[in-house]
Structure 1
Amino acid sequence: MQPFAQDMGYDGEPFIWNPNRRALLRAELDAYYAKLYGLTRDELRYILDPSDVYGADFPSETFRVLKNNEIKKFGEYRTQRLVLEAWDRMFGS
């Protein structure tokens, strides 16, 4: 990766792998791409978790495995929170 980084103009030390930083960066990219696609915040909320918009009885799910795994690991659907927080920081709520 170092030759590629140098080709791109980066001449510093390699970045240390940080899973929390990576999750934040991915969330920012998700929010940014949602905006580029013309989505509203509520449409993004719907994509992340339809039941968050229409209630627990809504019969559709999008990222069930991700949501369940994150609830087990973090006690919350972390991706949804991080993406919506990134949206709010970048574009307001």
Structure 2
Amino acid sequence: MAPDQYTQTDLDFIVPRVLELTYTSHDLKPFAQDLGYQGEPFPFDPERRHQLKCELDAYYAKLYGLTRDELRYILDPADVMGEDYPSETFRVLRKKELNTFGEYRTQRLVLEAFDRITTTQNTQ
């Protein structure tokens, strides 16, 4: 998607998240100011960063016109096609998260964000 194709609504969603993900050091103050932000750098919080990235993944999936099932397929083809499906997309991430959290957390968070975005867009 070309930058001139973003709507103001798109920018209102994307820019604050990208700013929070990138502005974690005073070295990037000019960048933050270019985006209209005058505050301090954001703390480097891995949990918060993961949530923001999941929200951005979901938003871009929606921008590109993916359905929820298409996004599910991208995140884990076996989730859509069945456990015996021979393809995996993010095997290492999935395995790591299953071992660490007992679930494929990224998939859950991306799909939850996708559902929130879809619900919000349908009520506007």
Q: Same fold (TM over 0.5)?
A: yes
Could you tell me which runs of 5 or more consecutive residues in structure 1 were left unpaired when the two chains were aligned: none
Partner secondary structure for residue 39 of structure 1:
coil
Q: How far apart, CA to CA, are the structure 2 residues paired with 1:90 and 1:72?
A: 29
Cα root mean square deviation, aligned: 1.1
Q: Which has the higher contact order (CA 8 A, sep 6+)?
A: 1
Shift, 1:8, TM fit:
2.2
Partner secondary structure for residue 43 of structure 2:
coil
Q: How far apart, CA to CA, are the structure 1 residues paired with 2:65 and 2:41?
A: 35
Letter in 1 for 2:56: L
Shift, 1:3, TM fit:
2.2
The structure whose residues are more often helix, as a share, is: 2
1:16 to 36, 43, 48: 43
Q: TM-score, normalised by structure 1?
A: 0.91
Shift, 1:9, TM fit:
1.7
Which ranges of 4 or more aligned residues in structure 1 deviate by more than 6 Å?
none
Partner secondary structure for residue 84 of structure 2:
coil
Could you tell me which runs of 5 or more consecutive residues in structure 2 were left unpaired when the two chains were aligned: 1-27, 120-124
